[in-house]
Amino acid sequence: MTDERPLKVALLGCGVVGSQVARLMTTHAADLAARVGAPVELAGIAVRRPGRLREGVLSELITTDAHGLAGRPDIDVVVEVIGGIEPARSLISTAFENGASVVTANKALLAQDGPTLYAAADKYDADLYFEAAVAGAIPLLRPLRESLAGDTVNRVLGIVNGTTNFILDRMESSGAGYSEALEEAGALGYAEADPTADVEGFDAAAKAAILAGIAFHTRVRLDDVHREGITEVTASDIASARRMGCTVKLLAICERAADGRSVTARVHPAMIPLTHPLASVREAYNAVFIEADSAGSLMFYGQGAGGVPTASAILGDLVAACRNKVSGARGPGESAYTMLPVSPMGDVVTRYHISLDVADKPGVLSQVAAVFADHGVSIDTVRQQGKDGEASLVVVTHRAPDAALTATVETLRGLDTVRGVASIMRVEGE
């Protein structure tokens, strides 16, 4: 053991993740002290419902006065696992004003207001760590911020939401439709009672904003991220993907433009080849594929949610913040020096898979092909299957600006011979 004074930790929130942080801090106390160089003591836990039974958590540590706890002068590190914007934002401000370092899992707050949090950490000479905010247990932000600090990251392609990966994986393996797979995800505890944040892509978009900012040393906010969820994905999209040797994943994609002068960040379902490493990420697992100039391709894989895995990431940050307190050092602050602007979705260059229901008569194929040509979109493959005077036409394009692809689809919708656009999906990862 060490002679250093104990470092005092305030835990704000004691739900699925917080209760595991409290448990691990107690059961691993000796190892944490040895690794930090001083005992790490849980000094208080702020909760909203004090009467709730929390197994293994000392009841004398519980308080409902979160502001009082975050502002206590003896607190060295505040761990915020409440989530959401308020009261988390003001509690974190109180912690910094009090000179405490902050460890948080709050992706929504970081994606909305990251620069303000970094500025407060700087002003009060404190640390801000948030490994648990993106992809739960997976060490991702520290490798990006520290291990790749000497490299140039060009692309981040990730499955960063376990709920939607579980649903798409079930649709793929059982042929189920979206609603059926969502129901199964709810029954197994993967989807929340209100799954909107996951299935509409808000959760993944917040993570994409955080990843893009760190990867490209710039600022990307949630509003900068183009977002489409998985609610429109059909069993027939998944079957079409399979015919092309692809699978469908909800991807968070952050890219540096080819000229290096801007970045883009987007979340949407996409077809990826079965040969891509992300295609093998099943069930509720997360994985992030990073392409860097010198390192080449890297993949980070693991559990992106759950109390114990997320608590692992928080404890790692807690050890880092405590070590800095002992040595008088500071962890990395914001690195946004490139200030690269975020381009709109229309500027993204990608490929489309478009499935059309058309009349099966002479000239239809050339009429459809002319629409692609008029918008400067080059066709890669066309597959047609006719039946009783109607046909299904599947067109896969070469890479083109998303705005040109969107305009192509709009024009196709207006043709008399096009009965309907059955599905449109981007093709990525090639």
Q: How far is the CB of 136 from ligand HSE (least distance, A)?
A: 7
Report the run of H or E that residue 171 belongs to, with start and end.
Answer: helix 162-174
123 carries an active-site annotation: no
Q: Is 304 in the site for ligand HSE (CB under 6 A)?
A: yes
**Which amino acid, one-letter code, is at 26?**
T
Least separation in angstroms between residue 423's CB and ligand HSE is: 24
Told to check if 163 binds ligand HSE by CB under 6 A, we report yes
Number of C-alpha atoms within 13 angstroms, CB side, residue 33?
Answer: 17
The least distance separating ligand HSE from the CB of residue 33, rounded to whole angstroms, comes to 30
Q: Which is nearer to ligand HSE, 250 or 358 (CB)?
A: 250
Binding residue (CB under 6 A) for ligand HSE from 98, 101, 161, 247: 161
24 vs 159, which CB is nearer to ligand HSE?
159
Phi/psi at 421 (nearest 5 deg)? Answer: -100, 105
d(CA 315, CA 32): 9
In the bound state with ligand HSE, the residue whose beta carbon lies nearer, of 202 and 352, is 202
Instruction: Decide whether 207 or 219 has the Cβ nearer to ligand HSE.
Output: 207
Cα torsion angle, 255, 258, 263, 264, sign: negative
Residue span binding ligand HSE (CB under 6 A) among the ranges 10-18, 151-159, 160-168, 287-295: 160-168
- Give me the helix-helix angle, 107-123 and 88-97, nearest 10°: 20
Please answer whether residues 351 and 379 qualify as being in contact, where contact means their C-beta atoms are separated by less than 8 angstroms. no
Q: Which region among 158-166, 314-322, 341-349, 356-364 touches ligand HSE (by CB under 6 A)? A: 158-166
* Structure token pair of residue 348: 């993204």
Please state the length of the chain: 430
Binding-residue pattern over the window 186 to 225 for ligand HSE, x denoting contact by CB under 6 A: ------------x----x----------------------
Element (H, E) at 287: strand 285-292
For the CB of residue 140, give the shortest distance to ligand HSE in the complex, in Å: 13
305 binds ligand HSE (CB under 6 A): yes
Query: Closest CB to ligand HSE among 77 and 168?
Result: 168
CB of 162 to ligand HSE, least distance (A): 3
- First CA to last CA distance, the chain: 53
The active-site residue out of 8, 107, 123, 207 is 207
- How far is residue 339's CA from residue 341's CA, in Å, rounded to a whole number? 6
- State the pairing for strand pair 296-303/77-80: unpaired
- Is there a contact between 21 and 11 (Cβ–Cβ < 8 Å)? yes
162 binds ligand HSE (CB under 6 A): yes
- 309 touches ligand HSE by CB under 6 A: no
Residue in the structure block whose two tokens are 């502001």: 67
Contacts of 44 (CB under 8 A, 6+ apart): 10, 11, 61, 62, 63, 69, 72, 75
| Part of the chain binding ligand HSE (CB under 6 A), chosen from 112-120, 161-169, 176-184, 384-392 | 161-169
**Nearest distance from C-beta of residue 307 to ligand HSE, angstroms:** 11
Query: What residues are annotated to the active site?
Result: 207
| Interface positions with ligand HSE (CB under 6 A) | 161-163, 198, 203, 304-305
